[in-house]
Amino acid sequence: MSTKSLPKVSFASIKDWRQLNWLEILGLIGLGLVIALVQANVHFPLRLPGWRGILWLTPLVATRMLTSSFGAASVTSLSAAGFLLLLGVRNNPFDWFFYLVVGELLDLAYYFGRRWRQKAWFWAIVAGLAHLTKPITMIILSVSGVWVFNFLIFRGPIYPLLTHLLFGALAGFVGSLAVLWVKRIRRIS
Bigger pLDDT: 140 vs 13: 140
Look at residue 18 and tell me whether its pLDDT is greater than 60: no
CB 80 within 8 A of CB 99: yes
> Cβ of 168: how many Cβ atoms within 10 Å?
28
Q: What is the pLDDT of residue 95?
A: 80
HEC string of the chain equals CCCCCCCCCCHHHCCCHHHCCHHHHHHHHHHHHHHHHHHHHCCCCCCCCCCCHHHHHHHHHHHHHHCCCCCHHHHHHHHHHHHHHHHCCCCCCCHHHHHHHHHHHHHHHHHHCCCCCCCHHHHHHHHHHHHCHHHHHHHHHHHHCCCCCHHHHHHCCHHHHHHHHHHHHHHHHHHHHHHHHHHHHHHHC
Reported as a single tens digit per residue, the pLDDT across 66-125 is 988 888 999 999 999 999 888 887 767 778 888 899 999 999 999 999 999 999 999 999
Give the predicted TM-score (pTM) of the model: 0.82
- Give 127's contacts (C-beta < 8 A, 6+ positions apart): 57, 61, 106, 168, 169, 171, 172, 173, 175
Q: What is the pLDDT of residue 21?
A: 83
CB 124 within 8 A of CB 102: no
Q: What is the pLDDT of residue 2?
A: 59
Reported as a single tens digit per residue, the pLDDT across 150-177 is 666 666 788 889 999 999 999 999 999 9
pLDDT band at 14 (very low <50, low <70, confident <90, very high): very low
Rounded Cα distance between 58 and 70, Å, is 18
- Give 51's contacts (C-beta < 8 A, 6+ positions apart): 44, 163, 167
Rounded Cα distance between 27 and 24, Å, is 5
Q: What is the pLDDT of residue 29?
A: 95
